[in-house]
Amino acid sequence: MTRPELLKIEGISKSYPGVRANDDVSFAVGEGEVHALLGENGAGKSTLVKMIYGLVRPDEGKMTFRGAPYTPGKPGEARASGVAMVFQHFSLFEALNVAENVALGMENPPPMRELAARIRAVSEEYGLPLDPARMVGDLSAGERQRVEIIRCLLQDPKLLIMDEPTSVLTPQEVEILFRTLRQLSAEGTAILYISHKLEEIRSLCDEATILRRGKVVATCTPREKTARELAEMMVGATLSPPERHPGEKGEVVLGVTDLSANSPIPFGTSLKGVSFTVARGEVLGIAGVAGNGQDELLLALSGELRTGADKVRIGGHAAGDLGPADRRKAGLVAAPEDRYGHAAAPDMSLIENAFLTGALRRGLTRNGFIDWAATRTFAEEVIASYDVRTPGSHVAARALSGGNLQKFLIGRELDQSPEVIVINQPTWGVDAAAAAAIRQAILNRAAEGAGVVVISQDLDELLEIADQFAVLNEGRLTKPRPVQGLTIDEIGLMMGGAHGMEVAHHV
């Protein structure tokens, strides 16, 4: 099947200080084609689409769109030519309503009342129900994405760019999204689809371009390849899943009973009667779409959010009213999701960051003063054993890439011989090889007798490392179930299906 060519990219290069983000990239997208851009984090996918969307200018190379030279200077020009983009981290404004958010992404929006009517019309046509008057801060992740998609569709795009659209969706919501995308493709809209979820790409995309370190390393038809082949093209090496040494389950080290807490975060979700236990050597995986109480659960477990003393027990002792330092003393270490600002102090060096949580359990103080020699040794030990790529332990945390900083922060917690480990999003934004290393390290600690709670939105990750599986949905935790024997459909239902949004797709 040959399609008329829509977008052609020839020899595009883009450099940032110290990095060559794109190097001589060429590919073409036909009309109505669903084209995948595949690659690890840092492979240059995001930079490439930002150039197509006019946010970044290429250093070299040329683009042709519908037969004419295409050099968008700003997103407005790209939108005017018929290119629309749905962002990976939503470009939405929580305190504004749906219609206002849509209007901000349009060049010449109609008056609000007319716009609201058009939003209703388009959302019904594509089976994406949405109320234009609702505040975006109150919407679920799936609904927020609809706002972005509808914002794009209202401009009748010829090319729709989607940057990792499914990372925040439940399996059922992914199905709805794919139906919409297939409908668009059938109507002649081309879709440039960025993801590293290989099964999705195999089921959705017609063609794929694979990027590694800024270069095109392969093009293929994803349906004709296995997920493993695609992954190996992407990584450029053979991959092996983490090894598990299922040890004996020991006594319960972390018990949470009927934990309820109001969220300290604006637009946050309160925890409602959360209960679970974790035994030594056990990994409890907690799934759920972002914004369903994950951050709050981490705060309540780490001690930043205090509750009744008997709601949280560490090693059998009541700890619900203890602060973070006392919980560390009791053996619980925690690694929050936000690396720049919550897990690490971004402008402080790695040594200082190592001290911040390691001081207590690693004995890095002497008579109330910081033992800098011991702290440096600790930081360098983490750097060496977790393969953190950095010029040295003296550099600021901010200077490290997301994946490298994450390896350092996870290593910092795991090397404190903890009894209980709580981690939110251990491998978010981390490349495949580093993610595998982090998962292996977590499993190793569990094998040594620690109880582990992993909160993650990556279902594959949880299925890979967890023994027990539970879902946070609107602040409530489902009853943990053994991972073995769980199907994806069951998990989707535990996640609340499509959040009450089973949709009448027009047939």
Partner 1 sequence: MEFGGINPVILIASLMVAAVPIMLAALGELVVEKSGVLNLGVEGMMIVGAICGFITAVQTGSPVMGFLGGAVGGAALSLVFAFLTQVLLANQVATGLALTLFGLGFASLMGQGYNGIKPPPTLSVPMGPLADIPALGPILFDHDWMVYMSIALVAVVWWVLKATRLGLIIRAVGESHEAAHALGYKVNRIRLGCIAFGGAMAGLGGAYVSLVRVPQWVDGITAGAGWIALAIVVFASWRPWRVLIGAYLFGGITVLQLNLQAAGSAIPVEYLSMSPYLITILVLVIMSSGRGRAALNAPASLGQNFHAAR
Binding site for partner 1 (CB under 8 A): 16, 47, 50, 54-56, 74-76, 87, 89-96, 100, 103-105, 109, 266
Structure tokens at 492: 């989707």
In terms of CB distance, is 140 or 170 closer to partner 1? 140
Structure tokens at 448: 């040594």
In terms of CB distance, is 163 or 352 closer to partner 1? 163
Cβ–Cβ under 8 Å, residues 109 and 115: yes
Residues 6+ apart with CB under 8 A from 208: 35, 36, 37, 38, 201, 219, 220, 221, 222, 230
The C-alpha atoms of residue 139 and residue 153 are separated, in whole angstroms, by: 19
In terms of CB distance, is 88 or 393 closer to partner 1? 88
In terms of CB distance, is 45 or 445 closer to partner 1? 45
CB of 265 to partner 1, least distance (A): 10
In terms of CB distance, is 74 or 317 closer to partner 1? 74
In terms of CB distance, is 95 or 373 closer to partner 1? 95
CB of 96 to partner 1, least distance (A): 6
The C-alpha atoms of residue 152 and residue 189 are separated, in whole angstroms, by: 11
CB of 348 to partner 1, least distance (A): 18
CB of 165 to partner 1, least distance (A): 15
- At which residue do the structure tokens 């990976």 appear? 88
The C-alpha atoms of residue 302 and residue 428 are separated, in whole angstroms, by: 19
In terms of CB distance, is 83 or 450 closer to partner 1? 83
The C-alpha atoms of residue 501 and residue 130 are separated, in whole angstroms, by: 10
HSE (side-chain half, CA atoms, 13 Å) at 403: 16
CB of 100 to partner 1, least distance (A): 6
Which DSSP helix (H) or strand (E) runs through 285?
strand 283-287
CB of 429 to partner 1, least distance (A): 15
| Three-state DSSP class for residue 205 | coil
| Three-state DSSP class for residue 209 | strand
Cβ–Cβ under 8 Å, residues 426 and 410: yes
Cβ–Cβ under 8 Å, residues 417 and 378: no
Give the β-pairing of 365-366 and 369-370: antiparallel
In terms of CB distance, is 342 or 481 closer to partner 1? 342
| Dihedrals phi, psi of 363, to nearest 5 degrees | 60, 55
